[in-house]
């Protein structure tokens, strides 16, 4: 029988995982900093040095070190293997058989990246979901801070090397090339050549407004740098759009049709693209036509329909589906998906669910295991808000009251609260579209009924019955659905893979640094 897999993540916030499940770490920042220091420095470290590095004399450094080591042993010692080796003089960390993200990255860069293909490089780049040793600042310990900043610089250089190797392999996909160059420019902001390459890639991929905006940003950053010719930026922004070999340049057109649920409610559904079918469950307020042009959804739907037949629908009570319905129960939500699948004529398909649609996706996959090939759950939950504690109940009841009072008004102030919860770090354009989407999509009464129905959802006991291979993705700072709800989904589904995104957005705008990673995680999973 295989032993427990121990994984330690140093990129982003420090995390220790056993068999993919996070281990609760000590609240003491210095204890967590000690673990990171032992891992990255390698070899035995003198106790006296560790005490000077992390503790002041009044803190009883030796006693603090002993306490921290005792806490770390309980975290990293697995199946009788001692990971913390300590004697009276020295302390070291035994990393044999431990998966450590930044250590693996360092080995890859040191051994050369020329032989890596674009997917491997993309996966390597996506490990940088945050800063190395993020959140481990010790302002009162200058020697440790000097060391930590030096490690972050090593990480920056490794990240740059990986991105440059990846960009060189993306000539046939200028849109992704632009996304990667954007990150590279953030890491090396005073490199004029990189700015020009980014602007050119944006223009050649048809993202002309972004190219113009980037030209202005780049000019501001580089204006005081000696030897920089700002005319190069203007020339780059005037590059002509070019079709990408990786994606068809022909516009996609969706076909909208209608079908009937058992109670007579008309359900609108749309089909777009060609290839293996991918069905998306409905989620919080959809509108087949409005979504297609909205910056909130268009990049998502067009990416999904690039090489597949994407089938999506408006659930009852909103969008182009029947608004004049009284039954918004969870069973009806699942039935709406069932009738759409039947009407679309697909026998077997991959199913993707977002937010409240995740519970519907789980229930459908349990009821129809022969139809669902793979299941993707993003930003979802197994238990609705009414099953998750009094504080959540109070907050949601307040939202429903606001909904009934101000939802349909021209002033978007009431709806802006929802926009801020769904995508706090999105551009203002996305907020404006989402505000308008909510007003156009349904009535205040239907919105509150749908939200109340979501509160009663509970598929926790159904998770263990899911047979389809499952990918669960959740944003660590999600303000709409807490991160633990995603962990609960992944923990209950046999063999589910769990991916954490380092963002606060519940719905990811195209500008979110984690959006390319989200897309690649989904593409890789569907391609397996």
Instruction: Please check whether residues 76 and 147 belong to one and the same domain.
Output: yes
Q: Residue 450 domain-assigned?
A: no
pLDDT of residue 364: 98
Q: What angle do CA 127, 215, 239 make, to 5 degrees?
A: 95
pLDDT of residue 374: 97
Please report, for the domain that includes residue 63, its CATH number: 1.10.10.10
Tell me if 121 sits within 8 A of 162, measured CB to CB.
yes
Q: What angle do CA 338, 326, 413 make, to 5 degrees?
A: 100
Give the CA distances from residue 182 to residues 160, 332, 487, 511, in Å, rounded to whole numbers and listed in that order.
Answer: 12, 44, 31, 10
pLDDT of residue 412: 53
Instruction: Please check whether residues 179 and 160 belong to one and the same domain.
Output: no
Say whether 338 sits in a helix, a strand or coil: helix
- Per-residue pLDDT, averaged over 149-176, amounts to 91
Strand 349-354 with 372-378, pairing: parallel
Give the CA distances from residue 406 to residues 11, 174, 285, 411, 443, in Å, rounded to whole numbers and listed in that order.
Answer: 43, 44, 17, 8, 11
Share of the chain above pLDDT 70, in %: 94
What is d(CA 96, CA 383) in angstroms, rounded to the nearest whole number? 39
Instruction: Please check whether residues 352 and 485 belong to one and the same domain.
Output: yes
Q: How confident is the model at residue 415 (pLDDT cuts 50, 70, 90)?
A: low
Lowest mean pLDDT among 34-38, 162-166, 416-420: 416-420
- Per-residue pLDDT, averaged over 354-380, amounts to 96
Instruction: Please check whether residues 330 and 291 belong to one and the same domain.
Output: yes
pLDDT of residue 395: 74
pLDDT tens figures, 202-222 = 888 878 888 888 998 999 999
Q: How confident is the model at residue 80 (pLDDT cuts 50, 70, 90)?
A: confident
Please report, for the domain that includes residue 271, its CATH number: 3.40.50.1820
Tokens of 380: 């979802």
Tokens of 311: 């089938």
Instruction: Please check whether residues 22 and 139 belong to one and the same domain.
Output: yes
Per-residue pLDDT at 410 exceeds 60: no
Q: Residue 73 domain-assigned?
A: yes
Instruction: Please check whether residues 149 and 45 belong to one and the same domain.
Output: yes
What is d(CA 471, CA 521) in angstroms, rounded to the nearest whole number? 9
pLDDT of residue 242: 61
pLDDT tens figures, 187-202 = 999 999 999 999 998 8
Q: How confident is the model at residue 417 (pLDDT cuts 50, 70, 90)?
A: low
What is d(CA 400, CA 81) in angstroms, rounded to the nearest whole number? 53
Q: What angle do CA 225, 226, 231 make, to 5 degrees?
A: 80
DSSP state of 86: E
Instruction: Please check whether residues 20 and 155 belong to one and the same domain.
Output: yes
Q: Residue 206 domain-assigned?
A: yes
pLDDT tens figures, 446-485 = 888 888 898 889 999 999 999 999 999 999 998 888 899 9
**């980014």: which residue's tokens?**
198
pLDDT of residue 520: 87
Tokens of 335: 């039935």
Q: Residue 95 domain-assigned?
A: yes
Q: How confident is the model at residue 500 (pLDDT cuts 50, 70, 90)?
A: very high
Average pLDDT of the chain to the nearest whole number? 88
Q: Residue 441 domain-assigned?
A: no
What is d(CA 325, CA 322) in angstroms, rounded to the nearest whole number? 7
pLDDT tens figures, 86-103 = 999 999 999 999 999 999
Q: Residue 403 domain-assigned?
A: no
**């019955």: which residue's tokens?**
465
Q: How confident is the model at residue 336 (pLDDT cuts 50, 70, 90)?
A: very high
Our count of domains for the chain comes to: 3
Say whether 436 sits in a helix, a strand or coil: helix
Closest CA to 282 of 419, 448, 454: 454
pLDDT tens figures, 234-275 = 888 787 776 544 444 445 788 999 999 999 999 999 999 889
Element (H, E) at 40: helix 29-41
Residue 45, phi then psi, degrees to nearest 5? -120, 135
Q: Residue 328 domain-assigned?
A: yes
pLDDT of residue 388: 72
Q: Alpha helix (H) ranges present in 368-425?
A: 390-406, 413-422
Tell me if 476 sits within 8 A of 500, measured CB to CB.
yes
pLDDT of residue 130: 80
Tell me if 122 sits within 8 A of 524, measured CB to CB.
no
Instruction: Please check whether residues 522 and 486 belong to one and the same domain.
Output: yes
pLDDT of residue 246: 44
Instruction: Please check whether residues 60 and 149 belong to one and the same domain.
Output: yes
Q: What angle do CA 293, 294, 300 make, to 5 degrees?
A: 90
Q: Residue 319 domain-assigned?
A: yes
Tell me if 61 sits within 8 A of 34, measured CB to CB.
no
- Chain length of the chain: 528
Query: Please, is 17 exposed, middle or buried when counting C-beta atoms within 10 Å of its C-beta (0-12, 13-18, 19+)?
Result: middle
Say whether 475 sits in a helix, a strand or coil: strand
Tell me if 185 sits within 8 A of 198, measured CB to CB.
yes
Instruction: Please check whether residues 194 and 289 belong to one and the same domain.
Output: no
What is d(CA 414, CA 179) in angstroms, rounded to the nearest whole number? 34
Instruction: Please check whether residues 58 and 148 belong to one and the same domain.
Output: yes
- Per-residue pLDDT, averaged over 125-139, amounts to 89
Task: Quickly list DSSP for 258-316.
Answer: EEE-TTS-EEEEEEESSSSEEEE---SS--HHHHHH-TTTHHHHHHHTSSSEEEEEEPT
Tokens of 126: 């996506």
What is d(CA 255, CA 288) in angstroms, rounded to the nearest whole number? 10
What is d(CA 324, CA 248) in angstroms, rounded to the nearest whole number? 40
Q: At what angle do helices 118-125 and 515-527 cross, to 10 degrees?
A: 130
Give the CA distances from residue 144 to residues 9, 11, 39, 53, 448, in Å, rounded to whole numbers and listed in that order.
Answer: 19, 17, 14, 6, 52
Enclosing domain of residue 44:
1-114+127-166
Sign of the C-alpha dihedral computed for residues 232, 237, 243 and 248 taken in this order: positive
- For 382-496, strand residue ranges (E) read 470-475
Max CA-CA distance within the chain? 78
Say whether 6 sits in a helix, a strand or coil: strand
- HEC sequence for 470-524: EEEEEECCCCCCCHHHHHHHHHHCCCCEEEEECCCCCCCCCCCCCHHHHHHHHHH
Instruction: Please check whether residues 195 and 335 belong to one and the same domain.
Output: no
């Amino acid at each position: 029988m295989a032993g427990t897999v121990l994984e330690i993540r140093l990129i982003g916030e420090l995390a220790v995982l056993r068999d993919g499940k996070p281990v609760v770490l000590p609240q003491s920042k210095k204890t967590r900093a000690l673990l990171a220091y032992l891992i990255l420095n390698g070899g035995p470290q003198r106790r006296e040095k560790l005490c000077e590095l992390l503790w002041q004399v009044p803190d009883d450094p030796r006693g603090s070190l002993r306490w921290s080591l005792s806490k770390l042993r309980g975290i990293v010692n697995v199946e009788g293997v001692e990971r913390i080796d300590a004697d009276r003089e020295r302390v070291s960390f035994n990393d044999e058989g431990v998966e450590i993200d930044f250590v693996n990255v360092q080995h890859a860069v040191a051994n050369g990246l020329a032989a890596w293909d674009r997917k491997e490089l993309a996966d390597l780049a996506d490990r940088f979901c945050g800063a190395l040793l993020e959140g481990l600042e010790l302002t009162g310990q200058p020697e440790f801070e000097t060391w930590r900043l030096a490690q972050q610089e090593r990480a920056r250089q490794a990240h740059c090397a990986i991105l440059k190797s990846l960009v060189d392999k993306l000539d046939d996909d200028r849109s992704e090339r632009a996304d990667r160059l954007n990150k590279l420019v953030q890491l090396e902001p005073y490199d004029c050549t990189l700015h020009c390459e980014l602007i050119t890639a944006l223009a050649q991929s048809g993202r002309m407004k972004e190219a113009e905006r980037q030209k202005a940003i780049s000019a501001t950053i580089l204006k005081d740098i000696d030897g920089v010719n700002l005319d190069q930026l203007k020339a780059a922004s005037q590059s002509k759009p070019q079709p990408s070999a990786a994606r068809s340049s022909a516009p996609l057109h969706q076909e909208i049709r209608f079908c009937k649920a058992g109670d007579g409610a008309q359900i609108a559904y749309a089909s777009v693209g060609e290839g293996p079918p991918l069905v998306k469950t409905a989620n919080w307020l959809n509108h087949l036509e409005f979504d297609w042009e909205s910056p909130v959804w268009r990049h998502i739907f067009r990416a999904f329909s690039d090489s597949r037949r994407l089938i999506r629908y408006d659930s009852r009570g909103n969008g182009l589906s029947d608004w004049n319905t009284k039954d918004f129960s969870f069973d009806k939500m699942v039935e709406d998906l069932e009738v759409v699948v039947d009407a679309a004529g697909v026998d077997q398909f991959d199913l993707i669910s977002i937010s409240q649609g995740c519970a519907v996706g789980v229930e459908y996959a349990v009821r129809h295991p022969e139809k669902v090939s793979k299941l993707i759950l993003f930003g979802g939950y197994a238990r609705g808000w009414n099953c998750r504690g009094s504080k959540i109940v109070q907050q949601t009841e307040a939202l429903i009251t606001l909904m009934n009072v101000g939802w349909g008004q021209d002033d978007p102030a009431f709806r802006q609260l929802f926009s801020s919860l769904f995508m706090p770090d999105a551009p203002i354009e996305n907020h404006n579209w989402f505000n308008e989407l909510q007003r156009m999509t349904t009535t205040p009464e239907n919105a509150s009924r749908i939200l109340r129905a979501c509160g009663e959802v509970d598929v926790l006991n159904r998770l263990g019955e899911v047979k389809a291979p499952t990918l669960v993705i959740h944003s660590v700072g999600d303000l709409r659905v807490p991160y633990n709800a995603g962990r609960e989904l992944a923990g209950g589904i046999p063999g589910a893979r769990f991916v954490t995104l380092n963002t606060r957005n519940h719905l990811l705008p195209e500008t979110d640094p984690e959006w390319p990673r989200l897309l690649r995680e989904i593409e890789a999973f569907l391609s397996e």
